[in-house]
Amino acid sequence: MTKPYTGYDSTAQGISPGLKVLQNWVLFTGAGQISNLGAFAVRPMRGKEQMSVHATGRAADFGWTKRDVIEGTMFWLLWNAEALGVEMLADYWPQPFGRAWRCDRWDWKVYDKKTIAGAPGGRWIHVEISPDMAASSAKMEAAIRKTMP
Q: How many Cβ atoms from other residues are within 10 Å of residue 142's Cβ?
A: 12
State the alpha helices, DSSP H only, in 85-136: 131-134
Helix axes 137-147 and 17-29, enclosed angle (nearest 10) = 30
State the alpha helices, DSSP H only, in 16-130: 17-29, 67-79, 81-84
- CA angle, corner 110, sides to 18 and 65, nearest 5? 60
Write down the domain spans for the chain.
17-147
- Write out pLDDT tens, residues 113-147: 999 999 999 999 999 999 999 999 999 999 999 99
This prediction's pTM:
0.95
- Write out pLDDT tens, residues 10-57: 999 999 999 999 999 999 999 999 999 999 998 878 877 889 999 999
